Structure 1
Amino acid sequence: MLDDGHKPSVLRHVPRCCGCGVHALSRRNVIRAALAIASTPLLRYMPAHAASADVSEVAPGVFVHQGRYEVQSAENGGDIANASFVVGSDGVAVIDTSGSAKLGAELRDAIRAVTNKPIKYVINTHMHPDHVFGNAAFKEDNPEFVGHYKLARALGTRKESYLTANEDMIGKEGFAGSEIILPTRGIKEPTKLDLGDRELLLEPQPTAHTDNDMIVTDLKTNTLFLGDLLFSVHVPTIDGSIKGWLAVLDDMGKRKAARVIPGHGPKTMELPEALEPEHRYLAAIAGDVRRQIAEGKTLAEATKSAGFSEKDAWKLFDQYHVRNVTAAFAELEWE
C-alpha cells in the first residue's frame, strides 16, 4: 500500500544481531539498505488486502474497472460501466463510480488495496445512473464531488425517477444505500485538479451524449477518460444531441493521446480508431433519418429501418436502437 509518503522503516528489514558480532550491520550498510528499499519499484504498491473489484493498472497510477456489456439487472448488480481512479503523490481521484453504493464500496476497496492516500476527488463524467450511484460509498472520505456545471441540475430533476428505475432493475438488496450525490463543484471552463505529482484536466463539453458530458485527461500519462462520449461494443445511447455528438467526435479525432478509456468498452483504446465505429453508427442514423424526413416518412416508419445497417456491429442493439432513432428524429425534423 502507498503509505501517505512515509518510506518503510529499514529496521523492519534488518535482522537483529544475536550478539556475536557476525550479524552486525554498519551504519553505511543500513543506509544502503534503506536506499535500496526506497527505490525498489515493487514497493510502490503494497496491498493491505485483496481488492473486491477487478481493476487493472493501464498506465502508471491509472486504474480501470471494466463493466459488462449488459443491461442493468439483479444478476450483474448494475456493473455495466467502466470506473477508474488515478493515484497521485497527494491523493486519489475517482472517475465514475459505477451503478450502486455496493459497487462503489467495492471500487473503494480496490483503491484501498492500492493506496491509503486520501480520496480527494470523485469526478462524474456525466449524469447517467450507471456512472454516479456508487458516489455514496465515498461520502465518508469527504472528497470534492466534481462534474460539469449542468450536472447538478440534471441529476436533481431526475433524482426520483433514477432511484425508482434503478432499484427496480437491480433489486432492493443490490441497490441498498444508493443515493444521488450532487456535485459540490461544477466545472464550466477547462480546469486542472492537482494530485501532487500529476494534474487532471477537466473539459466540459457541449451537448452530445448528454448536456453534461466532461472529458478528463491525466496529463502525466496523457490518458483521456471519455465517459460515454465513447462506446465500444455496447451500442451508443443518445440522451442529448446527435448533431452535437458527431461534432464532438470530430473534435476528439484530432487529439493525440497515449490511450483513451471509454465509458463502455475495453479498458483502453487508441485514437482515432476507437471513435470510428461510433461515428459510423451515429452518422448512419442521422443520414437515414434526414432522408426519411425529406421523403415525408413518419417516426414510426423511421424506427423500423433507420440505422439498421449497423445492427450486427453492436451488442444491445435491440434494447437501445429504436430509442436512438426516436431521439434523432425529434431533433432532426426541426433542422
Structure 2
Amino acid sequence: MRIIWMIFGWLTSVCVWAATPLSVSEVAPGVYVHLSAHHWPDRANHGEIANIGFIVGDKCVAVIDSGGSPRQGIALRDAVKQLTDKPICYVINTHVHPDHIYGNLAFKDEPGVRFVGHHKLARAMATRGEHYLSRAEEVLDIHVNQDNIIPPDLQVKDTMTLNLGNRDLVLTAHPTAHTDNDLSVYDKNTGTMWLADLLFLEHIPVIDGSIRGWLAELERLEHRRYRLVIPGHGRLVNDWPAAMQPEKRYLAELSDELRAMIKQGKTLEQAVSSAGLAAKSRWQLFEQFHRKNVTIAFAELEWED
C-alpha cells in the first residue's frame, strides 16, 4: 500500500507541475521571458537555469530556447498557449548546451513547427548528445533519450530572417565564441537583441569555444545599439553596451594574464592554480567554472601565432 501511495504522489506531482505554465514576463511588446536564478545545474533544479521565452507575431510564435528539462519545455509550451492562440511556428535553439535544448521534445508535435539553429548545431548535438544523455539522470534527475536531442530543420549559416506576421526576427550565426554554434535573435519591432549565452551577467562567463573569438564578437556587438538585451544568464539589459563590460573585462584580463604566463614558460597546472583569481569576488559560480575557463583558454592561446 505504501508503494502505491508513493507512486500516486509522484504522478500527482508530475501532473501538477506539467499543468502549471511557466512564469513569464512581457519585457517588450510581444516579447516574453522567463528569467532564471544563477545555480549550478543539479538534481534540485533539474538544469532549469537559463533565460528562455518566446516572441509573438500576428501570425505565429517563435520560442527561443526550450529549457533545461522536458518538464520545463512543457511548462513553456503551456505558457505560450495560455497567452496567445497563435500557433508555434519556430523553436530557435541558441546553442547546444542542455539548459537551452532539453525542452525541445515538448514542441515536436506542434503542427508546422520548425526547429532553427546555427549551421554547426546539428554536428554539436551529434558529437555531445550521447555524453549529455548519459549524465542527465545522475546529474539532473531528468529522464531523456535521443528523442530529446532535436537538430535544426533550418540551419543559419550567416543571417536569416523569420517573419512571424508583421514581425521580423533577424537570426545571426556567430563565429566561435561561447561555443562554436552561437545564434542571436534580433526583434526589429522592439529593438530587442536576444544574445543568449554570448552575454553573462553576475554569473561567470563560461568558455566552451574560443576566448579570442568571444572577445572579437563582443568588440563587434559593442558598437551596436539595442533598446533591450536578453542574456542567457542574468538580468535584462537596458544599458547596452555598459552592461557587457564586466564580461569583456573578465575575458580580456584572463587572456592577457595567460599570454604572459605562456611567455614565461608557465605550465597549464600553474595557470589553473593561479590565473585570473583577482576576478573571484566579481562573479557568482566562480569556483565551479573558472578553472575550466583557464584550461580551455590556455590550450587555445598556447598555440596562437
TM-score by length of 2: 0.90
SS in 1 for 2:103: helix
Q: 1:29 matched to which residue of 2?
A: none
Partner in structure 2 of residue 234 of structure 1: 203
1:101 counterpart residue number: 70
> Cα distance 1:147–1:176, how it changes in 2: closer, same or farther (>3 A)?
closer
Q: Secondary structure of 1:196's match?
A: coil
> Counterpart of 1:64 in structure 2: which amino acid?
V
CA contact (8 A) 2:69 2:142 kept: no
- 1:30 corresponding residue in structure 2: none
One-letter code aligned to 1:260: V
Q: State the distance in 2 between where 1:119 and 1:172 align.
A: 25
What's the offset of the Cα at 1:304? 1.4
Q: Secondary structure at the match of 1:146?
A: strand
Contact in 2 for aligned 1:78/1:130 (Cα 8 Å): yes
Query: 2:228 aligned to 255, 259, 284, which one?
Result: 259
Is this contact kept in 2: 1:53–1:107, CA < 8 A? yes
1:181 corresponds to which residue?
150
Return the match for 1:203 from 165, 168, 172. Answer: 172
8 A Cα contact 2:46 2:142, kept in partner: no
- 1:321 maps to 2:270: no
The one-letter code of the counterpart of 1:162 is Y
Q: 1:84: Cα distance to partner? A: 1.5
Q: What pairs with 1:76-155 in structure 2 (closer than 5 Å)?
A: 76-142=45-111, 143-155=113-125
Partner of 1:7: none
> Residues 82 and 267 of structure 1 are in contact (CA less than 8 Å); yes or no, is this contact kept in structure 2?
no
- In 1, the alpha carbon distance for the partners of 2:276 and 2:142 equals 37
Tell me, in whole angstroms, the C-alpha distance in 1 between the residues paired with 2:217 and 2:236.
21
Structure 1 equivalent of residue 130 of structure 2: 160
> What is the RMSD of the two structures over their aligned residues, measured on CA atoms?
1.5
Matched, 1:192 2:161: yes
Q: Distance in 1 between matches of 2:220 and 2:142?
A: 41
Displaced runs of 4 or more, over 4 A: 175-178
Find the residue that maps to 1:77 and give its secondary structure: coil
1:301 counterpart = 2:255 = no
Q: Larger radius of gyration, structure 1 or 2? A: 1
Report if aligned partners of 2:118, 2:181 keep a CA contact under 8 Å in 1: yes
CA distance in 1, matches of 2:67, 2:87: 20
- 1:167 is displaced (CA, Å) by 2.3
CA distance in 2, matches of 1:198, 1:172: 35
Match of 1:170 in 2: 140
Instruction: Tell me the equivalent position of 2:7.
Output: none
1:103-127 deviations in whole A, cap 9, x for unaligned? 0001111111101211000001111
In the alignment, structure 1 segments of 5+ residues that lack a partner are 1-49
Give deviations 1:113-150, integer Å, cap 9, x for gaps.
Answer: 10121100000111111101111110111411000001
The aligned residue for residue 287 of structure 1 is 256
Change (3 A) 1:299 1:269: farther
**Distance across 2 between alignment mates of 1:114 and 1:267:** 21
Tell me, in whole angstroms, the C-alpha distance in 1 between the residues paired with 2:20 and 2:108. 19
Q: What is the CA-CA distance between 1:221 and the residue it aligns to? A: 0.3
Equivalent position of 1:42 in the other structure: none
Cα gap change, 1:59 to 1:51, in 2 (>3 Å) = farther
Q: 1:7-59: per-residue Cα shift (whole Å, max 9, x none)?
A: xxxxxxxxxxxxxxxxxxxxxxxxxxxxxxxxxxxxxxxxxxx9521110000
Tell me if structure 1 keeps the 8 A contact 2:133–2:145: no
Contact between 2:228 and 2:236, CA under 8 Å: does it hold in 1?
no
Aligned amino acid, residue 109 of structure 1: D
What is the percentage of aligned positions where both structures have the same residue?
51
8 Å contact from structure 2 (residues 160, 172) kept in 1:
yes
* 1:113 match: secondary structure: helix
1:74, distance to aligned residue in structure 2 (A):
1.8
1:250-283: CA deviations, max 9, x gaps? Answer: 1110011001000011144431012101001111
Report the TM-score, using the length of structure 1 for normalisation.
0.83
